[in-house]
Amino acid sequence: MENNKFVKGTPLFKYRALNKGNLKWMKKILREGKIRATHFEKLNDPMEGIYLANEKIAGAYDEKKKLRICSFSKNYDIPLLWAHYADEFKGVVLKLKVVDRVNDETTDTEVFDFEQLPEYLTEEKQILVEVNYKEKYEDLEPAKPTQMLSRKLDFWDYEEEVRALRKQNGAEKVTYVDVEIQEVIYLKLYKGNPRTEEKNEFIDQLKEEFGDKIEFIGKNISEILMNYEQRKPR
């Protein structure tokens, strides 16, 4: 994939399903500007946070389990992500910025290079890091807890992933990452399919409620594929 380094303030993209079961959660995200962050053991890669060592590093698991992860992509046009995370192209992609909200002030969240990640986070701080892809299982050497949760094997590199990390607040059951939603991108699919018609109905509902604050952009699937092909390395 292209090697464009992610920098602070750059928009990110979140692929989401849009169906009857999660419509209320989509409205909550758009209304409140918060996306749930997840424990690493609930993500879809069974090797999340793994490391190779002759013996267990004292406290490593305890520190990792305090952290929560929210995954984003650097691009909106990745076909496999539309298929896997956006309900087989029938969902949406949210264009957004990850932000810090403190005392009614909003600023762009700090971005860390993988090598410069802090070992620990406070409950008040969320950070961003571009995922560090490793070629071999043997490359998953011991590291800081934040680094262990910011690397994956390189067969995942098609996701072009940037992660928000946040420490769980002990008083809260759910941890959220603060975001500013800029656009809702959806595909204009063929009519006649009941699921497509249902999706269009949900898009209309979202436009009616949030269209004065958020831009809704419908794209043809050919636009998505052509954009992806043009920026892919040959």
Tell me, what's the pLDDT at 62?
72
Tell me, what's the pLDDT at 1?
47
Residue 63: CB atoms within 10 Å: 18
Residue 101, both tokens: 């909200």
Q: pLDDT of the chain along its 234 residues, tens only?
A: 455 789 999 999 999 999 988 999 999 999 999 999 988 766 655 555 455 454 455 556 677 788 899 999 999 999 999 999 999 899 999 999 999 988 889 999 999 999 899 888 887 789 999 999 887 665 556 578 888 888 888 889 999 999 999 998 776 788 999 999 999 999 987 666 666 778 889 999 999 999 999 999 999 999 999 999 998 765
Amino acid present at 7: V
* Torsion sign, CA atoms 173, 183, 162, 92: positive
Which structural domain range is residue 178 located in? 12-231
Kindly tell me the number of DSSP H helices and DSSP E strands found in the chain: 6, 12
Tell me how many domains the chain contains.
1
Q: Say what the pTM is.
A: 0.89
| Residue 19 maps to a domain | yes
Tell me, what's the pLDDT at 197?
79
| Residue 140 maps to a domain | yes
Tell me, what's the pLDDT at 2?
52
| Residue 6 maps to a domain | no
Tell me, what's the pLDDT at 165?
94
Tell me, what's the pLDDT at 52?
47
| Residue 4 maps to a domain | no
Tell me, what's the pLDDT at 77?
96
Residue 104: CB atoms within 10 Å: 5
| Residue 117 maps to a domain | yes
Tell me, what's the pLDDT at 26?
96
| Residue 75 maps to a domain | yes
Amino acid present at 231: R
Contact predicate 119/100, CB 8 Å:
no
| Residue 145 maps to a domain | yes
Tell me, what's the pLDDT at 166?
92
Contact predicate 71/128, CB 8 Å:
no
C-alpha 156/C-alpha 154 separation (Å) is 5
| Residue 79 maps to a domain | yes
C-alpha 122/C-alpha 27 separation (Å) is 29
> What is the residue whose two structure tokens read 């603060």?
178
